[in-house]
Chain A
Amino acid sequence: MARNITYREAVNEALAQEMERDETVIVMGEDNAGGAGSPGEDDAWGGVLGVTKGLYHKFPGRVLDTPISESAFIGAAIGAATAGMRPVAELMFVDFMGVCFDQIYNQAAKFRYMFGGKAVTPVVIRTMYGAGLRAAAQHSQCLYPLFTHIPGLKVVLPSTPYDAKGMMIQAIRDNDPVMFFEHKALYDSSGPVPEESYVVPFGEANVVREGGDVTIVTLGRMVHTSLEAAGQLAADGVQCEVVDLRTTSPLDEDTVLESVEGTGRLVVVDEAHPRCNIATDISALVAQKAFGSLRAPIEMVTAPHTPVPFSNALEDIYIPDAQRVVNAVKTVTGWSR
């Protein structure tokens, strides 16, 4: 039975249901309960933005607060995963990958291959990403393209509460290391989510709006920006098909290519910086495999090649908005040859 809950609640519910189902599932991270060793209340925070709130009391001994030592505890989650646990570790902000990336990309990602198929590392690393909270350059980045580049990692970015729950459950049950990206500006968004447990498989993009004129391929928070643009464009008689990739590794190439073959026009909307991001990756894919279908050059809508700025005045123009998507769609529909 579905009811409306927030993206934050959806992640929490997935964690709770999987911890209930499987006692090898453990949760760890900085302040994931909060108040460890402090004189006040336990479970003071439930994570810095409250995503893991309540799990500490529900599952005694299985929600572990950590020192601020990302290398040690992300590595510990990875080590525990090789030893029969299914840890869900929180790298609070993905910007902090700089202090623990080795454990993720040189250890977890490579064990299976470099050990000749003998390792299974079912770790989930939850992390917050994205701009919009005036959190400035070191707490607002996307960085999922960096992880997408690494063989051995799966990279998933739910855009809705429904996907957040189903993809978290899939991530926990998955036997490969999963980077689970939660957009901090989506936590309070709400939508219908079934109470019962379900999975959203990886590598299956979601056509969130159908249309025959232009394909918009996007992901994460930009799905909503793209849908807003598509709504405006429909009023002008331009029908956009919006494809939510949902996972960047594995990537659902077929859904992207089929859509572009139908529309002949592609706009890719990606909140990441413009170089070597998901927009360039999708553009290359389409240029290589659906070139004959294209009736216009591909347009990319991305953040600029700058750090994320602090001031409202700057951050608001840094983040791609619906108007920029509308403009890009008009560019590709205005092209003729």
Chain B
Amino acid sequence: MTDTVERKTLTREHLLDVYRTMRTIREFEERVHAEFATGEIPGFVHLYAGEEASAVGVCSNLDERDTIASTHRGHGHCIARGVDVGEMMAEIYGRRTGSCHGKGGSMHIADLSKGMLGANGIVGGGPPLICGTALAAKLKGNGGVSVAFFGDGGSNQGTTLESMNLASVWNLPAIFVAENNGYAETTSSTWSVASDNIADRAAGFGMPGVIVDGFDFFAAHEAASEAIARAREGGGPTLIEMKFTRYYGHFEGDQQTYRASEVEHARAELDCLKRFADRVTETGELTRPDLDAVDAEVAALIDRVVDEAKAAPLPTEADLLTDVYVRY
């Protein structure tokens, strides 16, 4: 289905940016996977590798007016929204120099100045919040849109369903992106989602529902572009379902005994980076050396931010009590 997708809005620079961002997410996650295994990274870490086309396909349509809310699997959304990769890595290491000064960690990376309202440790936590940021944009009349990313697990939360209804009732510029990676923790979405597709539920909330091959950047970008343009013009919300699989477990340390061999197949045959590279080199829009140069640049960046994170100072006891309130 992807070969029919129009790409007229994507310049060479845009394509390079897209590739750089997807590659940065992949490299970031692969590296966190490796570093987590050494025991140096504390807490729970949920990796986004394999799902890059969704975050980048959606966020490459956004600008400074817009806001996204993410999930526990939020690194990809953060990077796609432009959150500083060095601060993110420092946060994952619990350092004072991190995005949240070491007080949030992987599950709470946020940068409101970048329109990133946070990864979220609560499944289904983001959609209600996004109704609010969309409402604010609507009342201000600035054309801003808001995007809630959630998983197949989150698609079954009442908060998500309530929010889709509210977004339609209030005709909000809100986009609901269901990232169906096949599993809520260990539970298959083929079992936990009662409808054939999450997108089918859109009809019940009076909004368009779109199913997208989540491994295909161009399909994701195009679907998001249409939905976002409609929302900016007052046409209301859309539900987009990205179908793909995650390359790692629910969290690092998950032995994944519930899975079959779909990851090997996905990595070999469906991978979003591989497909993107094949497409743009076949059309001649970018060359292999262009992409290799990006790969080298990104690898150096991730090396640097890991080194910096490991060397960065930890928070101090004085930090424990700050920033509970603006004023108390």
Q: How far is the CA of A84 from the CA of B134 in the complex (A)?
A: 11
CB pair B125 A67 closer than 8 Å: no
Chain A window 52-74, contacts with chain B (Cβ cutoff 8 Å), 1 for yes, 0 for no: 00000000011010110101111
Complex: A154 Cα to B326 Cα, angstroms: 11
A-B pairs with beta carbons under 8 A, tally: 157
A71→B123 CA distance, assembly (Å): 13
Q: Are A80 and B122 also in contact (CB < 8 A) when A67-B166, A72-B159 are?
A: no
Further pairs besides A71-B128, A80-B135: 5, Cβ < 8 Å: A69-B166, A75-B128, A76-B135, A99-B158, A107-B120
Nearest residue (CB) in B for A115 is B110
Q: List 16 A-B contacts (CB under 8 A).
A: A66-B166, A69-B162, A69-B165, A71-B128, A74-B128, A78-B128, A79-B128, A79-B133, A79-B134, A82-B133, A102-B122, A103-B125, A115-B118, A119-B112, A174-B326, A176-B327
Q: Which of A248-262 contact B (CB under 8 A)?
A: 250
CB contacts (< 8 Å) of A303 on chain B: these are: none
On whether the beta carbons of B129 and A79 are closer than 8 Å, the reply is yes
> How many angstroms between the C-alpha atoms of A102 and B118 in the bound complex?
15
CA distance A113 to B111 in the complex (A): 13
Distance to closest chain A CB from B102 (angstroms): 8
Q: Are A102 and B326 in contact (CB under 8 A)?
A: no
- Which residues of B243-280 have CB atoms within 8 Å of chain A's CB atoms? none
Interface size on A, residues (CB 8 A): 46
Q: Which 6 A-B pairs have the closest CB atoms?
A: A75-B128, A79-B132, A79-B129, A116-B100, A117-B323, A80-B132
Q: Is A284 an interface residue (CB 8 A)?
A: no
Q: Does B209 contact A (CB under 8 A)?
A: no
A313 in the interface, Cβ–Cβ < 8 Å?
no
Q: In the complex where A69-B166, A75-B163 touch, is A83 in contact with B133 (Cβ < 8 A)?
A: yes
Q: Is the CB of A118 within 8 A of B326?
A: no
Interface residues of B in 158-177 (CB under 8 A from A): 158-159, 162-163, 165-166, 169-170
Find chain A residues with CB under 8 A from B208 CB.
none
Q: Point out which of A67, A74, A99, A114 has the most chain B C-beta atoms below 10 A from its C-beta.
A: A114
Q: Please pick, from A61, A76, A117, A118, the residue contacting B129 in the complex, using a CB distance under 8 A.
A: A76
CB distance from B277 to the nearest CB of A (A): 35
A296 lies within 8 A of chain B by Cβ? no
Q: How far is the CA of A76 from the CA of B136 in the complex (A)?
A: 9
Instruction: Judge if B4 is at the interface, Cβ distance under 8 Å.
Output: no
Complex Cα–Cα for A72 and B125 (A) = 10
B104 touching A116, Cβ below 8 Å:
yes
Q: In the complex the two chains form, is A107's CB within 8 Å of B324's CB? A: no
Question: Is A113 a contact partner of B129 (Cβ separation < 8 A)?
Answer: no
Q: Across the interface, which residues of B come within 8 angstroms of A117, CB to CB?
A: 101, 322-323
Distance between A119 CB and nearest chain B CB, rounded to angstroms: 6
